[in-house]
Structure 1
């Protein structure tokens, strides 16, 4: 009888240890989730390193190349050189097919 009780207790402890090893806080499934998270973080770090390298290159270019500053001023601020003419083109919205053309102001008078 005592032997049976010991075996039963050992069996329960073994089952609990296996369940904890698979589903517990440090179990197999928790390890798998941590590895997935680690992979995601590594990809994010690689992307941030690439962005950092691009920004470092931009900084170097802006410090060393005056034409880069001019290019940036033209793109971001819309600046032009003396003697240049700025032409701004606006997009005209498309008319639906079959819609009449808008009347000109001369035709309305």
Structure 2
């Protein structure tokens, strides 16, 4: 039969070991657990990446907004884009389209 003092003496005898194991388990959980230190670092890095992306998209947005304002108010810009990108011309003008130069490596002339 067991005496009530036996579990108590076991705890007293192994208290440091039990405490050490419990602290080690708590430390491992705090470092690598779902909400631990490593997860926090990953989240912080993701937040920084998203902030950089937001800054980049915001700058691009400002640039596009400036282009929209320019297109709404600058007739010369509208005409230049119409000519260069759409190939449009004023009434009475002629458009000459030249063939594009060949791309790639040129072969040596044959004799």
Query: TM-score, structure 2 length as denominator?
Result: 0.76
Computing the radius of gyration from Cα coordinates, the structure with the larger value is 2
| 1:79 paired residue among 66, 71, 88 | 88
Give ranges in structure 1 of 5+ residues lacking alignment. 102-109
Residue aligning to 1:96? 107
Residue aligning to 1:8? 17
1:6-45 equivalent positions in 2, closer than 5 A: 6-45=15-54
* Partner SS, residue 40 of structure 1: helix
Q: More deviation in 79-88 or 12-21?
A: 79-88
**In structure 1, what is the Cα distance between the partners aligned to 2:78 and 2:17?**
80
Query: TM-score, structure 1 length as denominator?
Result: 0.77
Size of the alignment, in residue pairs?
100
Q: CA deviation at 1:18?
A: 0.4
RMSD, aligned α-carbons: 2.0
